[in-house]
C-alpha cells in the first residue's frame, strides 16, 4: 500500500513580537508582523494540493486552539512542534512512516511544483533538500521514519547548517540527495527586495 505524502509546514503564531525578530530590527515590529502574516498565508494557500496532505505544526503550544482568520486555514490539520531545537522538532515529524516534506513559511517563493518535485525525488533518492542562500535549507524531504539521531550535532541558523545536514545524512547511509532550486529566506530587511525579485520571475 502506498502511503499518502505529507507536507508539514512549520509556523509560528502570527502575533506581534512572536516571530521574525531579526526582520523587526530592520523594519519595526508591526511591519515584521504584517510580513510574517502575509508570507504564512501565501505559503499555506498556495501549497495545498490533493496530491499530498498538508499539516501545519505550530508554536507556541498555547496557539493550538487559536484562530487567525486569513492566515491559518481552518480546515488544515494542526499539530504542535513541541520542545527542543529545530532538530528535535523535525525528528518528531520524520518519525512517521510516510514520505514527509518539511518547510517553513520564510520563503514565500515556494510553489506547488517545488513540493511535487520533492516528493517525486524521493522515489529515486534518500533525501531531497531545498538549499537556502544563507547556507541553510528551506525544504527537507525524507521517506520516514528517519534514522535516530539524524539531527544530532547540527548547527542551526548557521552558514554551515546545510553542510552539517549533508554530513549527517551521509553518516546515516542516506547518500543519494537531490537538490532543488536555491531560495532566500526572509530573515533580514535586506532579504525583502531579493525575494520580491525572485517572486516576480515565477
Q: Could you count the other beta carbons within 10 Å of the beta carbon of residue 24?
A: 19
Q: Which of 37, 39, 10 is nearest to 186 (CA)?
A: 39
Strands, E assignment, the chain: 6-12, 53-59, 78-80, 99-103, 127-131, 137-143, 177-179
Torsions phi, psi for 83 (to 5 deg): -85, 180
Whole-angstrom distance, CA of residue 41 vs CA of residue 11: 10
pLDDT recorded at residue 200:
44
User: What is the pLDDT, as a whole number, of residue 192?
Assistant: 74
Q: Is residue 40 a contact partner of residue 14, using CB atoms and an 8 Å limit?
A: yes
Phi and psi angles of residue 3, each rounded to the nearest 5 degrees, phi first = -80, 140
Return per-residue pLDDT of the chain as tens, 202 residues.
468 999 999 999 999 888 888 888 888 899 999 999 999 999 999 999 999 999 999 999 999 989 998 899 999 999 999 999 999 999 999 998 999 999 999 899 999 999 999 999 999 999 999 999 999 999 999 998 999 999 999 999 899 999 999 999 999 999 999 999 999 888 767 767 666 655 544 4
The strand pairing partners of 127, in sequence order, are: 142, 177
Which CATH fold would you assign to the domain 6-196? Spore Coat Polysaccharide Biosynthesis Protein SpsA; Chain A (3.90.550)
What is the predicted pLDDT for the residue at 2? 62
pLDDT confidence of residue 182: 95
Helix, coil or strand: residue 201 = coil
Amino acid at each position: 500500500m502506498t502511503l499518502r505524502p505529507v507536507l508539514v509546514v512549520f509556523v509560528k503564531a502570527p502575533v506581534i513580537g512572536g516571530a521574525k525578530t531579526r526582520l523587526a530590527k530592520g523594519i519595526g515590529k508591526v511591519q515584521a508582523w504584517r510580513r510574517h502574516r502575509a508570507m504564512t498565508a501565501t505559503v499555506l494557500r498556495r501549497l495545498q494540493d490533493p496530491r499530498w496532505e498538508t499539516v501545519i505544526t505550530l508554536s507556541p503550544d498555547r496557539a493550538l486552539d487559536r484562530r487567525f482568520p486569513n492566515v491559518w486555514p481552518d480546515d488544515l490539520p494542526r499539530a504542535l512542534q513541541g520542545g527542543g531545537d529545530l532538530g528535535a522538532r523535525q525528528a518528531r515529524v520524520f518519525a512517521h512512516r510516510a514520505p514527509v516534506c518539511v518547510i517553513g513559511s520564510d520563503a514565500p517563493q515556494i510553489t506547488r511544483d517545488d513540493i511535487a518535485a520533492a516528493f517525486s525525488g524521493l522515489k529515486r533518492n534518500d533525501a531531497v533538500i531545498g538549499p537556502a542562500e544563507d547556507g541553510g535549507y528551506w525544504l527537507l524531504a525524507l521517506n520516514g521514519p528517519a534514522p535516530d539521531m539524524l539531527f544530532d550535532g547540527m548547527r542551526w541558523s548557521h552558514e554551515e547548517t546545510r553542510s552539517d545536514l549533508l554530513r549527517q545524512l551521509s553518516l546515516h547511509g542516506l547518500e543519494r540527495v537531490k537538490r532543488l532550486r536555491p531560495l532566500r529566506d526572509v530573515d533580514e530587511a535586506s532579504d525583502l527586495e531579493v525575494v520580491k525579485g525572485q517572486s516576480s520571475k515565477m
